[in-house]
Structure 1
Amino acid sequence: MKEEQVRILVVDDEEGVRNLLQRILQERGYDVLTAADGEEALYVVSQGEADVVLLDIKMPGMSGLEVLDELAAQYPDTCVVMVTAVADTETAVSALKRGAYDYITKPFNRDSVIQKVQEAIQKWSQRLQDKRRYLQLKESFTEQTKRMQEQFAELVNSLAREHRLLHELAARQGKAGKALLSELPQELQEPMASVEEFRNALLRILKKG
């Protein structure tokens, strides 16, 4: 995933901070949007317009932590980097435990901001790749399971037909036919019982998956 395809949202109630971060990131070629409060930030993300969010911790109205909780619950693929004052790193660490990827401190160091954002983008990209791979594997598993169920149904029908035919032929032979049936292995005398055992074992495996 190319960096220029990533959409970054800067959320801060201070216009000067928003503009500074936006300028730093736009100089690197990123597509950057801004939001002045938590409600606006959640709306932007809900519209699918942000992949990585730089989120101020202390804002009027919804705090950064409250916004973080909403993002984690509703938009878990979004990668969040908290923005905090140097004196409030304890809250930033708390944010990490609640799902934030990392944090940056004010006043900003341009290189540090770029580095944190690049790392967040890598994290976001890996998360999407993992999700895509999971969905592919899930689809493949579903298709194979359906195919196995169809083949199993065909096997059951085939065994039932052959078992019925075997008994019909034996019945025509009278006592000799019954004697032949009694000499067959138990699995062939009651094939459906063996099939049912196999079916139950297969279902147990599928449930574990």
Structure 2
Amino acid sequence: MSRQRVLIVDDQNGIRILLMEVFSSEGYETFQAANGKIALEIVKQHSPDLVLLDMKIPGMDGLEILKHIKQMDPEIKVIMMTAYGELDMIKEATELGALMHFTKPFDIDEMRQAVNAQLKGTTSHIG
């Protein structure tokens, strides 16, 4: 069985590196993108199982990226990462299909558990 794939989309390099280390050590194949353009390329080429998506990204913002991801593949699970006070955007993200959100600075263990629950709690629908 192929490893499940997690894509981390954040313009902050430190956050991407941290999350990639965490999820690589959990056994996932990890990808990273600093902006929407790269993120959507990765979605197209590697169809990740789950995307951790920052709400505030220069250029194409998180909501826009979320819309594109869901158009490309509605099955992809998306968890948003938000700054404090972006509640209106969170509501919209949920309507667009995001599963949940974590407010920065987030608890890395909680996020790890949430991702594991989403990915390991279900059997992969693709062989």
Whether these two folds match at TM > 0.5 is yes
Match of 2:41 in 1: 43
Residues 49 and 69 (structure 1 numbering): CA distance in 2 closer, same or farther, change over 3 Å?
closer
* 1:52/1:124 contact within 8 Å kept: no
1:141-194 superposed Cα distances (whole Å, 9 cap, x missing partner) = xxxxxxxxxxxxxxxxxxxxxxxxxxxxxxxxxxxxxxxxxxxxxxxxxxxxxx
Structure with a larger share of its residues in strand: 2
How far apart in 1 are the matches of 2:50 and 2:106? Answer: 18
Q: How does 1:33-182 map to 2 (within 5 A)?
A: 33-122=31-120, 125=123, 128=125
Match of 2:16 in 1: 18
Q: Which has the higher contact order (CA 8 A, sep 6+)?
A: 2
How many percent identity over aligned positions? 36
1:27-78 superposed Cα distances (whole Å, 9 cap, x missing partner) = 2222111001001000001013411100001000100100001111121111
Q: 2:86 aligns to what SS in structure 1?
A: helix
Structure with a larger share of its residues in helix: 1
How far apart in 2 are the matches of 1:89 and 1:117? Answer: 21
How far apart in 2 are the matches of 1:50 and 1:19? Answer: 17
**Which is higher, the Rg of structure 1 or of structure 2?**
1
How far apart in 1 are the matches of 2:15 and 2:121? Answer: 24
Q: 2:85 aligns to what SS in structure 1?
A: helix
TM-score normalized with structure 2 length: 0.87
How far apart in 2 are the matches of 1:82 and 1:73? Answer: 17
Q: Which amino acid aligns with 2:7?
A: L
Q: Can you give the 5+ residue segments of structure 2 that lack an aligned partner in the other structure?
A: none
Q: Can you give the 5+ residue segments of structure 1 that lack an aligned partner in the other structure?
A: 133-209
| Superposition RMSD in Å | 2.2
